[in-house]
Structure 1
Amino acid sequence: MESLYLLIPLSVLLVFLIGLIFWWSVRSGQFDDLEGPGWRVLQDDDKPADTAAETKKNN
């Protein structure tokens, strides 16, 4: 029974911590584009890396 006095506050603290981390990730844009990075891996870019970066800046 005494262990519940410790486990219940710890679990409530853990829930708030997880909620805070999830809120931060949504606000910072972590879930904005879930499919883009996966498709970018499959694209065949024949240009050098610095030319591709300049093209992205111009578009």
Structure 2
Amino acid sequence: MTVLLYLVPLALFLGLVGLFGFLWSLRNGQYEDLDGAALRVLDDTDVEGGRP
């Protein structure tokens, strides 16, 4: 039972760290252009020796 005294606060702390990380990423615009990354994968114009 004494292990719970360490694990419960640790779990709460890690959950808060994850929440703050998620909120930080929202605030800095990490999820603004979701379709752009999918289209950039298919674009090969910047690769030398690629198809014209």
Q: Same fold (TM over 0.5)?
A: yes
What is the DSSP-based 3-state SS (H/G/I as helix, E as strand, rest coil) of the residue aligned with 2:31? coil
Instruction: Name the structure, 1 or 2, with higher relative contact order (CA <8 Å, separation 6+).
Output: 2
Runs of 4+ that moved beyond 6 A: none
Structure 2, unaligned runs of 5 or more? 47-52
Superposition TM-score, scaled by structure 2 size: 0.77
Question: 1:18: which partner in 2?
Answer: 18
- Identity across the alignment (%): 43
So what's the TM-score if we normalise by structure 1? Answer: 0.69
Structure 1 spans left out of the alignment, 5+ residues: 47-59
Report the aligned-residue RMSD.
1.8
Structure 1 residues 40 and 9: alpha-carbon distance in aligned structure 2, compared to 1, 3 A threshold: same
**Equivalent-residue separation in structure 2 for 1:44 and 1:16 (angstroms):** 40
Post-superposition CA distance 1:3-30 (Å, at most 9, x none): 0000000001011000000000000000
